[in-house]
Amino acid sequence: MTTAAPVQPLPVVGVGVVSSAGYGLAPLAGALDRGPVPQAVAGADAAYPPRPVRPVAGFKAADHLGRKGTKNLDRLAGLSLVACKQALEAAGPAAAGTDPARTGVVLATNTGSIAGYSDLLYETLTLDKPYLINPGKFAGSVMNCSAGQMAIRHGLKGLNATVAGGRTASLYAFRHARLAMAAGRAEELLVGGAEELSAPTAWAWHHAGTLRESAPVGEGSAVFVVRAEESAGEPVLADLLACEAGFYGWTGAGRRGGVRRGLTSGLSAAIDRALQRSGVTAEDVADVSLGAGDHIGLGRLEERAVRLALGRLPEPVRVTEVLGETYSASGALQLAALLARWQSTPGGRAPRVGLITSVGHDGNAGALVVRERV
C-alpha cells in the first residue's frame, strides 16, 4: 500500500450556523440532546407534499443583515450570508486582520436556489411582457450567487468557488479549500454549505423515493472560518485534518450487489486514507457524525463502511434526525453538530478526534477527520 502524504492541520477560528434548531452551536447542541422534535406535516400547506419539514422558523435575512442589499436576495443566499456573518463575528480579530485579497469563499450548494429560478421561470411564462421581469432576481438563478454575495458584502477578494456534488458537496468543499491553501492561493477561507427548503425541493424528495416516508426535509447553512496558519494566542475551536472524497459507483434505484459493495468499500477506503493522512489511527476516533440515516439503503451502507474502517461504530452523532435532510449542506452541518456536541460535553485533557462521513445514491462518498482543540 502506498503511504499517503500527511496534511497540515487547518485551524477553525470561527463558526456560523443557521438551522431549524436556531442560530449558532449552542441551540444545535441542545437539539441534539433533546432528539427529534415532532413536527407538523407540510401537507397542511397545499404547496407542499405530505411530508415533515424542518424550516428555519421565521427566517428573514433583513432581520440579521439590515434592509440594505437584501430586497432581492433569495432564501439560499440569505441563509448563507447570515451564517457567514456569524462566522466572521465569532472569529473576531483573527478574521479582521487578514488581507482581503488573500481571503476567499468555498461554498457547497448543489443547484443554487431552486425556488428562485423556478419563480423566475414562472414569471417569464405568465407575465404579459416576460422581458420586463425584475432584473434583480436574475442573479439568484445562477448557482454561485450565494458565494458571490458573501464576498461582495464582506469585501473578500480572494478565490471564490461554488462546489456541487450532491450529498457529498460539503466534503468536496472542504477538500477544495485544503488544496487551495496547500497551493498558496489563500490565507483564510470561509468554507461550508447551504441548502434552502422550498416546495419544489420537498416535492422532488417526495417523488424520488430515496428517503424514508417519515423522514423530514430541512434547510440550513454552516460556514467555518479556516486559516492556513493560526496567530499566537488566537482561540481555535478545532483543526481540520484530511478530507478524502470520490466517486465509487452509482447505486441506482433499488440496485444491489456489486455496486453497493463497491460504494461501501469506497467509503471505507476514503476513511482509511483520511486517517492515514491525518496521522491518527482508527482507535483514536472518539465520535463519528453520520449523515445518511434517513436514506433507504444508504444508512446501513454508511455504518457498515465505518465499521469496516474502524473495526467498530463509535457513538454516532445523527444530525439529520434533528434537522432533516439538508442535501449539499449536510456535511457542513454534520461538522457543526460534532463541534456543538464537543462544546456541550467537555472531554479530558487529550483532544478528541472526530470523523464526518458522507455518501449519496449518486455514488459519491467521502470522509473528513477533525481534531478538537483543548
Residue 138 — φ and ψ, nearest 5°? -70, -35
Q: Are residues 250 and 189 in the same domain?
A: no
pLDDT at 250: 67
pLDDT at 141: 80
In a domain, 50, yes or no: yes
Q: Are residues 223 and 264 in the same domain?
A: no
Q: Which residue in 155, 149, 152 sits closest to 98, CA to CA?
A: 155
Angle of helix 330-344 versus helix 25-34 axis, rounded to 10: 80
In a domain, 233, yes or no: no
Q: Are residues 41 and 183 in the same domain?
A: yes
Q: Are residues 66 and 89 in the same domain?
A: yes
Q: Are residues 246 and 133 in the same domain?
A: no
In a domain, 338, yes or no: yes
pLDDT at 253: 45
Q: Are residues 126 and 193 in the same domain?
A: yes
In a domain, 340, yes or no: yes
Residue 98 — φ and ψ, nearest 5°? -90, 145
Q: Residue 259 is part of a domain; what is its CATH number?
A: 3.40.47.10
Q: Which of 227, 251, 269 is the last residue of a domain?
A: 227
In a domain, 5, yes or no: no
Q: Are residues 268 and 326 in the same domain?
A: yes
CA dist., res. 180 & res. 159, Å (int): 9
Give the count of domains, the chain: 2
80: containing domain: 10-227
- Maximum Cα–Cα distance across the chain: 68
pLDDT at 45: 58
| Run means of pLDDT, 10 residues per run, the chain, 374 residues | 80 97 96 75 69 93 91 92 96 74 94 84 79 76 92 95 96 97 95 95 92 93 94 88 91 50 92 97 97 93 97 95 96 98 90 97 95 94
Please give the model's pTM, rounded to 2 decimal places: 0.93
Q: Are residues 221 and 74 in the same domain?
A: yes
Q: Which of 227, 249, 276 is the last residue of a domain?
A: 227
